[in-house]
Amino acid sequence: MQQTITFPSGTVDHFFQASFAEQAKTYDKQHTIIVTNEHISKLYGQLFKGFTTLVIPPGESSKDMNTIKSLANDLLHAEATRKTTIMGVGGGVVTDITGFLSSVYMRGVRFGFAPTTLLGMVDAAIGGKNGVNLGFNKNVLGTFTQPQFIVFDSKFLDTLPNAEWSNGFAEIIKYACIFDAGLFEELSKNDIDYYKQDHTALNSLIERCVALKNNTVTNDEKETGLRKLLNFGHTAAHAIENLYELPHGKAVAIGMVIACMVSERVTGLDPEVRVKLMALLERYNLPVKMNIDHKKAMEILRMDKKRHDDMIDYIVLNKIGEAVIHALPLGEIETALIDYEGKN
């Protein structure tokens, strides 16, 4: 099923319930270069036969300028020009790198994604944000550039490790918290095994999340307002993710618990919401507790993109399904982190 979404900067073709193997047969092999990682190449390399394929090491540590530089060199050697299409096949690390690389190589070439993780399908591959890290600081270098197309093939998930399913559910639970109380209820009744076994339910969950994100991004592509809501749980997450080498989803899970604690102080959020959220996170095998060195986390937070002077745009909940942006003094976040440590 093909759906074309129009963003202020252009259109993106979304191919839902698609077969990457079938789609790949239609690509111009001479002018398409695949970027992927070692895990995906090992598992799905047969799908890339005939394409020039650039393979990066797996993991968040690849998401830096060294990888961009090395891939740009590879593109030059492969004689990639402005007529080349670059296809990122992988999780959020691969699609973030591919998007950034494609938007700066020769001042921008055509690109598309086939996300292979749940997190990639419901979040990282959509919305046009891409970027790489600078040391501990997440996504400091990047652009807003939409891919031309995204291929959603849930068959890739057959090989996805359980821990990565959980990471994907962190972002799905995030959408439920900020936009969709009905989804929160649905998730509370189900679990990972249910979605693994019921492909119809899984595909409709993916499409529901994509629609929630796209509805936000079409209204605020460059994140000047509404799109910031998608950062619920991400401010603290970005501070701890690279510091403790946590997978993105796990960091977001902890970040959402902290954001609920901040919400209790700022919007008077019912503490029962945090209890419900923690139960839901645990249902999807996500962490809710960890020891955080608040001083180290604050050092990273001070360099957050959302900071202005001593304030940071922080996303808080009024209730499940309703989030707001609140300009928060950095000191309040430090208090929340100390508070979180105390309740651990």
Ligand X SMILES: NC(=O)c1ccc[n+]([C@@H]2O[C@H](COP(=O)([O-])OP(=O)(O)OC[C@H]3O[C@@H](n4cnc5c(N)ncnc54)[C@H](O)[C@@H]3O)[C@@H](O)[C@H]2O)c1
Given the residues 60, 223, 241, 264, select the one marked as catalytic: 223
Q: CA-to-CA distance for 250 and 168, rounded, in angstroms?
A: 9
Is-catalytic flag, 231? Answer: yes
The CA distance from 70 to 76, in Å, is 10
* CA distance linking residue 322 with residue 177, whole number of Å: 7
Q: Which of 63, 234, 250, 294 is catalytic?
A: 234
Nearest to 248 by CA among 138, 186, 144, 167: 167
213 catalytic residue (yes or no): yes
- Rounded to a whole number of angstroms, the distance between the first and last alpha carbons of the chain is 46
From the candidates 171, 207, 221, 241, which is the catalytic residue?
171
Q: Which is nearer to ligand X, 138 or 269 (CB)?
A: 138
The Cβ of residue 246 has, within 10 Å, a number of other Cβ atoms equal to 20
148: tokens are: 């031309």
Nearer to ligand X, 31 or 307 (CB): 307
Q: Closer CB to ligand X, residue 64 or residue 339?
A: 64
Nearer to ligand X, 16 or 113 (CB): 113
- Residues 297/243, Cβ–Cβ less than 8 Å: yes
The catalytically annotated residue of 238, 250, 274, 294 is: 238
Q: Enumerate the H helices of 267-344 as residue ranges.
A: 271-283, 294-301, 330-343
Reply yes or no on whether 234 is catalytic.
yes
Q: Report residue 19 as tokens.
A: 């077969």
Catalytic, out of 133, 167, 231, 242: 231
Overall residue count recorded for the chain in this entry: 344
> Which of 101, 94, 83, 87 has its CA nearest to residue 52?
87
Least distance to ligand X from the beta carbon of 43, Å? Answer: 6
Residue 248 bears catalytic tag: yes
If the CB atoms of residues 33 and 118 are measured against ligand X, the closer one turns out to be 118
- Say which of 49, 77, 79, 107 is annotated catalytic: 107
Shortest separation between residue 343's beta carbon and ligand X, angstroms: 27
Spatial distance between the Cα atoms of 91 and 37, rounded to a whole number of angstroms: 9
What is the smallest separation between the CB atom of 29 and ligand X, expressed in angstroms?
22
Interacting residue ranges for ligand X, rule: CB under 6 A: 37, 39-40, 43, 58-60, 63, 90-94, 96, 116-117, 119-120, 123-124, 127, 129-130, 138-139, 156, 159-160, 164, 167, 248-249
Question: Is 107 annotated as catalytic?
Answer: yes
227 catalytic residue (yes or no): yes
Q: What is the C-alpha separation between 53 and 180, in angstroms, rounded?
A: 39
Cβ 282 to ligand X shortest distance, Å: 19
Based on CB atoms, which residue is closest to ligand X, 160 or 337? 160
Active-site residue 322, yes or no? Answer: no
Instruction: State yes or no: is 223 an active-site residue.
Output: yes
**Helix or strand holding residue 2 (H, E):** strand 2-7
- Cβ 283 to ligand X, closest distance in Å? 19
Catalytic residue among 213, 228, 250, 274: 213
Amino acid at the residue 40: I
Residue 89 vs 266, nearer CB to ligand X: 89
As measured in angstroms, the least distance from the Cβ of 213 to ligand X is 8
Residue number, nearest CB to ligand X = 92
CB of 36 to ligand X, least distance (A): 9
CA distances from 178 to 83, 173, 213, 229, 261 (A): 40, 9, 11, 7, 15
**Is 241 annotated in the active site?**
no
Which of 205, 259, 207 minimizes the C-alpha distance to 231?
259
Residues carrying an active site annotation: 107, 129, 171, 213, 223, 227, 231, 234, 238, 248
